[in-house]
């Protein structure tokens, strides 16, 4: 049993991590500034698990809050989800992104170092590969993000590498997520974007539930099997299983390791739309529009390093990802702020 600090634990992925840790018997403290979430997710986490967690309403850029937090608790590990993740917003306001993501991680690592807590799992992203020259993508591909959000992830990766190089007693896991989707099978927690969604799956879900009129498919002239963009969608529960395996892997010995978390299979936009239509039993309107700037034609992982080193493999297929996303969305048509369900 461990005592784990989950930064950004009220968010989409972090809340699923809290469920898994609590069900594993671990104690959980969440620090979240609720900039893109609410405590409703944490209430749901506690209902699902029938266990309590401790919530600190605080910001990881606040060294005083972190100092108190680490003085009050003896953490075995930190799982660091707290961050801003909108590519478009990062282009408009890079300073906000560097401050929140890079400075937030720096403050966190300083507090960890001072408290002699040296185990961290960090949420990186396949966005660090930029536009890949081929697929599938292995961890040794050249990195080169093409927007400020992606560059904050790369700077943080470099920061963690430098920390490890200076003090190899750290245990650092950098997980590069491909496209996390889906929801906990209970339907009680899931993705709840504040504004109109940027990402495909939450957009399709909101079309299905009637919050948005139709899906705009960004381009149908890519060199892919049906001309639409191909991505490696991964069920959030599988993704979290990867974090649990990463924490176990760090227990063996001090190390810094980088792993892709993806299924290894790519699906096109139209294939995702088809699968979602089957899951929700509705035909969903869509229109082909122009390409979205900065989009790769194809991106999917070679997950074999995670398979061999972490003993981890994604289990859930696209149909299950869509079924679980739809259960969450139909039970909570307006996300955490809603009551009642859609028909
Ligand atoms: P999310 O926005 O749902 O969760 C992030 C949480 O962090 C939110 O609850 C937010 O309120 C909190 N937060 C943000 N800045 C904070 C700060 N300074 N101090 C304290 N709390 C703060 O996003 P998510 O999808 O759960 O993503 C979690 C992490 O995974 C992020 O770092 C994101 O960049 C990374 N990631 C996400 C995806 C994806 O597609 N969802 C893909 C790759 C990587
Ligand atoms: N797409 C549409 N219409 C939409 C939204 C998306 O056609 O309304 C298409 C995109 O063009 C792309 C595919 O659906 O071909 C997936 O797009 P997403 O925005 O869901 O995912 P991306 O792979 O573009 O990017 C996401 C995050 C990035 C992250 C990356 C890898 O937005 O921050 O996954 O983790 F870096």
- The best mutation among 197, 230, 263, 292 to test binding of ligand 2, ranked by most ligand atoms within 8 Å of the C-beta, falls on 292
Question: Which residues does 238 contact at the CB level (< 8 Å), separation at least 6?
Answer: 261, 263, 314, 315, 316
pLDDT interval class at 252 (50, 70, 90)? very high
CA distance 299 to 288: 20
Quote the pLDDT of residue 165: 98
Residue 343 has pLDDT above 70, yes or no: no
Choose, from 12, 97, 149, 233, the residue flagged as catalytic: 149
Cβ 60 under 6 angstroms from ligand 1: yes
Long-range contacts of 20-27 (CB under 8 A, 24+ apart): 20/240, 20/241, 20/243, 20/244, 21/244, 22/46, 22/49, 22/51, 22/53, 23/49, 23/51, 24/244, 25/1, 26/1, 26/2, 27/1, 27/2, 27/3, 27/53
Residue 341, pLDDT score: 37
Angle at Cα 220 formed by Cα 127 and Cα 209, nearest 5°? Answer: 75
- The residue nearest atom 12 of ligand 2, judged by CA position, is 229
Q: pLDDT tens digit string along 78-114?
A: 999 999 999 999 999 999 999 999 999 999 999 999 9
Angle among Cα 324, 325, 327 to the nearest 5 degrees reads 60
- Ligand 1 near 35 CB (within 6 A): yes
Query: What tens digit of pLDDT does each residue of 166-179 get?
Result: 999 999 999 999 99
Task: For residue 149, indicate whether it is catalytic.
Answer: yes
Does residue 71 carry a pLDDT above 70? yes
Q: Is the CB of 198 under 6 A from ligand 2?
A: yes
Domains of the chain, residue spans: 3-182+232-261, 200-231+265-300+311-337
CA distance 331 to 343: 9
Q: Quote the mean pLDDT of the chain.
A: 97
Render pLDDT for 123-143 as a digit per residue (tens, 0 to 9): 999 999 999 999 999 999 999
Structure tokens at 224: 């892919």
- Residue 58: pLDDT over 70: yes
**Segment 262-294, tens digit of pLDDT:** 999 999 999 999 999 999 999 999 999 999 999
pLDDT at 33: 98
Q: Which residues, other chains included, contact 239 with Cβ-Cβ below 8 Å and sequence gap of 6+?
A: 13, 16, 177, 180, 261
The percent of residues in the chain predicted with pLDDT above 70, rounded, is: 98
Query: From the CA of 89, how far away is ligand 2's center (Å)?
Result: 15
Going through 178-254 in order, the beta strands assigned E by DSSP cover: 179-181, 215-218, 230-231, 233-235
Report pLDDT digits (tens) over 308-335: 999 999 999 999 999 999 999 999 999 9
Residue 338 pLDDT grade (very low, low, confident, very high; cuts 50, 70, 90): low
Q: Strand locations in the chain, DSSP E? A: 3-7, 27-32, 54-57, 77-80, 119-125, 171-177, 179-181, 215-218, 230-231, 233-235, 255-261, 267-268, 286-289, 298-299
Quick one: pLDDT at residue 339?
Answer: 41
**Separation of CA 312 and ligand 2 centre (Å):** 24
Give me the pLDDT at residue 340, please.
Answer: 38
Token pair recorded at residue 127: 């966005």
Is domain 200-231+265-300+311-337 given the CATH code 3.90.25.10 in the classification?
A: yes
Asked if residues 301 and 264 have their Cβ atoms less than 8 Å apart, the reply is: yes
pTM of the model: 0.98
Q: Which CATH number does 3-182+232-261 carry?
A: 3.40.50.720
**Residue 262, ligand 1, Cβ within 6 A:** no
Q: How many CA atoms lie within 13 A of 332 on its CB side?
A: 21
């Amino acid at each position: 049993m461990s005592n784990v600090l989950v930064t950004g634990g009220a968010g989409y992925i972090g809340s699923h991590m809290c469920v898994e840790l609590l069900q594993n018997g671990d104690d959980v403290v969440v620090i979240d500034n609720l900039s893109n979430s609410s405590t409703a997710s944490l209430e749901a986490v506690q209902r699902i698990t029938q266990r309590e967690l401790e919530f600190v309403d605080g910001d990881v850029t606040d060294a005083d809050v972190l100092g108190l937090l680490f003085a009050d608790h003896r953490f075995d590990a930190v799982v660091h989800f707290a961050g801003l993740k909108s590519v478009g917003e990062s282009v408009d306001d890079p300073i906000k992104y560097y401050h929140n993501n890079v400075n937030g991680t720096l403050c966190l690592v300083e507090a960890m170092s001072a408290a002699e807590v040296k185990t961290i799992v960090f949420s990186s992203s396949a966005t660090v590969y930029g536009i890949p020259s081929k697929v599938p993508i292995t961890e040794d591909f050249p990195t080169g993000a093409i927007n400020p959000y992606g560059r904050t992830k790369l700077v943080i990766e470099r920061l963690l590498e430098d920390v490890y190089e200076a003090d190899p007693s750290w245990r650092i896991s950098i997980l590069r997520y491909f496209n996390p989707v889906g929801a906990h099978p209970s339907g009680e927690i899931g993705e709840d974007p504040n504004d109109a969604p940027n990402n495909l799956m939450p957009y399709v879900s909101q079309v299905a539930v009637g919050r948005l009129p139709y899906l705009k498919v960004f381009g149908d002239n890519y060199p892919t099997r049906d001309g639409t963009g191909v991505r490696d969608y991964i069920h959030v529960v599988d993704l979290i299983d990867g974090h649990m395996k990463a924490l176990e892997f760090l227990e063996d010995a001090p190390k810094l390791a980088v792993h892709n978390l993806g299924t290894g299979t790519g699906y096109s936009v139209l294939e995702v739309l088809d699968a979602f239509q089957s899951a929700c039993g509705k035909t969903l309107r869509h229109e082909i529009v122009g390409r979205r700037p900065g989009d790769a034609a194809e991106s999917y992982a070679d997950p074999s390093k995670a398979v061999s080193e972490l003993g981890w493999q994604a289990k859930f297929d696209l149909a299950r990802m869509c079924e679980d996303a739809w259960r969450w969305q139909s039970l909570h048509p307006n996300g955490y702020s809603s009551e009642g369900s859609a028909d």
